[in-house]
Amino acid sequence: MKRIAVLASGRGSNFQAILDAIARGEINGECVALITDNKDVHAIELAKIADVPVVVINFGDYPDRTAFEADLLTAMHVINADLFVCAGYRRIIGVDIVREFVGKMINIHPALLPSFPGLYGQRQALEYGVKIAGCTVHFVDEGLDAGPIIVQRAVPVFDDDDEKSLDERILAQEHIAFPEAVALFCADRLIVSGRHVRILPEAP
């Protein structure tokens, strides 16, 4: 059984989707920690309800990003997870951490990468005028939303969509794609070769 740690900065609906999939027995893993950079987020309440230990590394308490990242790295060593899941984690992860946990850290992005990386993927998609939008689960590398892609799910964009309606349609797919990617990782079914992630068939 894999040790999973989730990093989240906000409401935590993706975190909850992963907890739910674990509870349903769909993921061969246990959630050993929620790590958050903000002491006031809703994700903490969700962790408490699920009895998941919470590690708060409150960004506002640090003089600079270097000091914050040093404590984050220490916490990640102590937690010693097999997989670190960035679920609405709103900070760019420093290169020292990325290098150390390469292949063990995944992220979800609310756009069909490589289109619309960075902040507000849904808004970028709307402004560009695409007809299909979606979400991407990918390994974290040194680029911005740039690592090898594990799972993508698409949704239509309608003429009368606004940011909220598109966001909701994509989020519903995030809640399917993310647990699926975590389950594949925890079943040792992901083989990374350069940019490509091959998904092994389910063991008989």
DSSP conformation class of 12: -
Q: Residue 177 phi/psi, 5° resolution?
A: -65, -40
Give the nearer residue to ligand GRF in terms of CB position, either 70 or 152.
152
The contact set with ligand GRF (CB under 6 A) reads 8, 10-15, 87-88, 108-110, 171, 174
Give the nearer residue to ligand GRF in terms of CB position, either 15 or 84.
15
Give the nearer residue to ligand GRF in terms of CB position, either 175 or 198.
175
CB 182, min distance to ligand GRF, A:
13
Q: Which of 126, 50, 34 is nearest to 89 (CA)?
A: 34
Catalytic residue among 109, 138, 175, 196: 109
CB 16, min distance to ligand GRF, A:
8
Q: Using an 8 Å Cβ cutoff, are 15 and 175 in contact?
A: no
Q: Is 175 annotated as catalytic?
A: no
CB 172, min distance to ligand GRF, A:
11
CB 92, min distance to ligand GRF, A:
12
Strand partners, 192: 197
Residue nearest to ligand GRF (CB): 88
**Rounded to an integer, what distance in angstroms lies between the CA atom of residue 2 and that of residue 71?**
23
Give the nearer residue to ligand GRF in terms of CB position, either 29 or 110.
110
* DSSP code string of 124-142: HHHHHT-SEEEEEEEE--S
Burial class (CB in 10 A: 0-12, 13-18, 19+), 40: exposed
Q: Residue 97 phi/psi, 5° resolution?
A: -70, -45
CB 202, min distance to ligand GRF, A:
27
Give the nearer residue to ligand GRF in terms of CB position, either 15 or 68.
15
Q: In the chain, where do the E strands start and end?
A: 2-8, 29-36, 54-56, 83-86, 105-109, 132-139, 149-156, 190-193, 196-199
> What amino acid positions are annotated as catalytic residues?
109
